[in-house]
Structure 1
Amino acid sequence: MPAEPVTTEQDCPYLDTAFVEDTVGQQTPTVTTTGIPGGPPPGCTFAKPNGEPALTVEITQAADGVAARTAAVERVAGIGGTAVTDIADGGGIAVGTSQTVLAVADGTLVVVVTVNQESSLQAREITQTVVAAV
């Protein structure tokens, strides 16, 4: 039976809280990580004072690079996504009025960044930082 994900209130291991706050322009006093021990890097949630997420990062493992790229594109295809070719191994981005979702493949990892605002620039900056760190 696969291990269950564990959520812990702690700093994100690959994304500095001050950098996130500066980039998204919001206070995020509560940071949690969710991951499977021994699995891919954990996901991180940066929550605003009211508890709503300002930024989330999800990282999943795919079978291979092709599967990772496919998963990244499919993650945003149903919400009006457009191609991203300049970050890691490519993927897609969907910019909406209340959130932006950017998903890219990085080798066999799928990195999905969701920002609670309409801003591809912030999502790109955060995603590039995550990919460089993992």
Structure 2
Amino acid sequence: MRRVVLAVGLAALVATSCSETTPPAGAPATTTAPPPSSTVALPPDPQPTAGGPCPYLDTSFVADANGQHVSKVQTSADKPHPACFFYALSGKLQLTVRVYVGDPAVAKALVDKAAPVDTSNPATDPAGWQGGYQATGGGAVYAVAKGGSAVVVTTDQQQTVKARTVTKQTISVLGL
């Protein structure tokens, strides 16, 4: 009988220690609810709406930096700095430059959308700017932000150094 009582007592002890306990009255309840979402509303992707030239990048610079002749340039309606779209002789888009100036959270989110922190290499050039770079299915991207400014450059070339070169020139010319 003693063994049965001991076994029942041990079973009760194990069951109690494995079950959830309720906090004492007046104690704050703890929950494991996920933190509130911190998503930022991003502006829509820029679309080419007008003919060039790009107000902050010379076509010959882009041709040299990206390694392809430029046949056409278009710009978006974005203010104060339109996005610039550079096309190859084949008529296909070869390079896009997007400049954002405004809310720092939006600038950072735009960079993370273009070069996600989880998959891209860290980018810290030029000094003081942060973001990422990576090869993509259709080329490469280099995206950085500093304060409320962001610059995102995509190219049809696999070498991210080409996108980085254009990014640095854009930041320099605009004085960002």
Query: What is the TM-score with the length of structure 1 in the denominator?
Result: 0.82
The unaligned stretches of length 5 or more in structure 1 are none
CA RMSD of aligned residues (A): 2.3
Which amino acid is 1:86 matched to?
D
2:34 maps to none
2:66 maps to 24
The unaligned stretches of length 5 or more in structure 2 are 1-46
Matched, 1:7 2:49: yes
Aligned residues: 128
Q: Which runs of 4+ in 1 moved over 4 A?
A: none
Query: What is the TM-score with the length of structure 2 in the denominator?
Result: 0.64
* Bigger RCO (CA 8 Å, 6+ sep): 1
In structure 2, what is the Cα distance between the partners aligned to 1:15 and 1:106?
20
From the CA coordinates, give the structure whose radius of gyration is larger: 2
In structure 2, what is the Cα distance between the partners aligned to 1:80 and 1:25?
26
1:120 maps to 160
% same residue:
31
Rate the CA distance shift 1:30–1:6 in 2: closer, same or farther, 3 A.
Answer: closer
1:50 maps to 90
Shift of 1:25: 1.4
2:112 maps to 73
- Secondary structure at the aligned position of 1:19 is classed as helix
In structure 2, what is the Cα distance between the partners aligned to 1:112 and 1:79?
17
In terms of fraction of residues, the more strand-rich structure is 1
Which amino acid is 1:30 matched to?
K
1:60 maps to 100
